[in-house]
Amino acid sequence: MKTQNNRAWFFVLPVLLLVAFNALIPMMTVVNYSVQETFGDNLFFWEGLTWFEQILRSERFHAALGRQFLFTGLILAIEVPLGIIIALSMPRKGFWVPVCLVTMALPMLIPWNVVGAMWNIFTLPDIGLLGYFMNNTLGIEYNMTRSPLAAWITIITMDVWHWTSLVVLLTYAGLVSIPDAYYQAAKIDGASSWSVFRYIQLPKLKQVLTIAILLRFMDSFNIYTEPFVLTGGGPGNSTTLLSIDLVKIALGQFDLGPAAAMSLIYFAITLLVSWLFYTLMTKDDAK
């Protein structure tokens, strides 16, 4: 018999180190900050759960969380149906397939801060193409720096422009993987195109849509760069989403304790919602 030993575990070591340095140690630092107070000079005082309590009771946090859910809810409500509609109307074969796919993928290739800057310039009332057109040609008052509604419309439109493609590409991949026999059977059964969508396409797309919604939820819930570059959270606090507020507390006010506590709560909410959604969506599959 061969000698048994556990030396093979050393193969896991590189991964363990990698995970430790890019996730575990930074995360534990945050946990460490979240229960202490510091005034600099590397002096720390134990505070227990004070910061968590303070954050959870703070109106400012409630407002930012509310805005965050509104933002994520709105972009999901627009991007998912829109993505499905676009994917359904894309051609399945021929010359236009690669053209459509590349066009769709383009917005996703642009760096996030560039997207923010692009839309910022695009909407400037005096020189921006859209801003000038709206204010001076159509005569509609449109100024992101003054009107919260204009700011919201702009960040939502920007996110739809940037990320609907993800839903489109995933849905399209799901659609082409449906065997032709299903469509032929539906034709023979005399099904209407709505029935085909409702009973064949939608059920077959369930898995890719779950992934698409999950990705879009996590990304949009953690969004920072684009709204920061575009509106900086303004006017006032009207577009200050959770991550923008977090950075203000951590780097603007240098309140490391509350910022750390807020990060953990933020992380917990993201994790909880993702887990709930995924569990609900895959509940039936296990049966």
Partner 1 sequence: MAKVTLRNLRHSYMPNPKSPEDYALKEIDIDWADGGAYALLGPSGCGKSTLLNIISGLLIPSEGQVLFDEQDVTQLVPDKRNIAQVFQFPVIYDTMTVRENLSFPLKNRGVDPATIAKRVGEIAEMLEVTDQLDRRASGLAPDSKQKISMGRGLVRDDVNVVMFDEPLTVIDPHLKWKLRSKLKELHQRIRRTMIYVTHDQTEALTFADQVVVMQDGEVVQMGTPVELFERPAHTFVGHFIGSPGMNVLPCDMRDGGAFVAGQNIQLEGPVTGNGQGLRQIGVRPEYVTLGDGGLPATVRKVSDLGRHAVVEAVLGDTRVNAIIEGATPQQGETVGLHFKPQQTRLYTDGWISTEAGS
Q: Single out the segment in contact with partner 1 by CB under 8 A; choices: 16-24, 58-66, 113-121, 185-193.
A: 185-193
Q: Single out the segment in contact with partner 1 by CB under 8 A; choices: 20-28, 62-70, 139-147, 186-194.
A: 186-194
Bond prior to 203 in cis (omega within 30° of 0): no
Member of 106, 149, 176, 185 binding partner 1 (CB under 8 A): 185
Give how far Cα 53 sits from Cα of 50, 61, 124, 197, 280, Å.
5, 11, 41, 48, 30
* Min dist. Cβ of residue 189 to partner 1 (A): 4
| Residue 204 near partner 1 by CB under 8 A | yes
* Min dist. Cβ of residue 114 to partner 1 (A): 42
* Min dist. Cβ of residue 284 to partner 1 (A): 8
DSSP run (H or E) holding 183? helix 180-188
Give how far Cα 242 sits from Cα of 87, 96, 155, 202, 225, Å.
32, 41, 15, 33, 12
Contact predicate 233/240, CB 8 Å = yes
| Residue 4 near partner 1 by CB under 8 A | no
How many residues lie near partner 1 (CB under 8 A)? 17
Q: Letter for the amino acid at 87?
A: A
> CA angle, corner 229, sides to 228 and 230, nearest 5?
95
| Residue 179 near partner 1 by CB under 8 A | yes
| Residue 94 near partner 1 by CB under 8 A | no
**Distance in angstroms (rounded) separating the CA atoms of residues 44 and 35:** 10
Member of 182, 197, 224, 277 binding partner 1 (CB under 8 A): 182
Instruction: Give the x-and-dash track for 104-143 against partner 1 (CB under 8 A).
Output: ----------------------------------------
Tokens standing for 244?
Answer: 């923008």
Give how far Cα 106 sits from Cα of 69, 79, 100, 218, Å.
27, 16, 10, 21
| Residue 190 near partner 1 by CB under 8 A | yes
| Residue 203 near partner 1 by CB under 8 A | yes
Tokens standing for 86?
Answer: 């676009």
Q: Single out the segment in contact with partner 1 by CB under 8 A; choices: 53-61, 153-161, 199-207, 215-223.
A: 199-207
| Residue 282 near partner 1 by CB under 8 A | no
Please, which residues bridge with residue 36 across strands? 46
| Residue 15 near partner 1 by CB under 8 A | no
| Residue 22 near partner 1 by CB under 8 A | no
* Min dist. Cβ of residue 198 to partner 1 (A): 8
SS3 of 45, please?
strand
Tokens standing for 34?
Answer: 């979240």
Between 13 and 286, name the residue whose CB sits nearer to partner 1: 286
Binding site for partner 1 (CB under 8 A): 179, 181-182, 184-185, 187-192, 195, 199-200, 203-204, 287
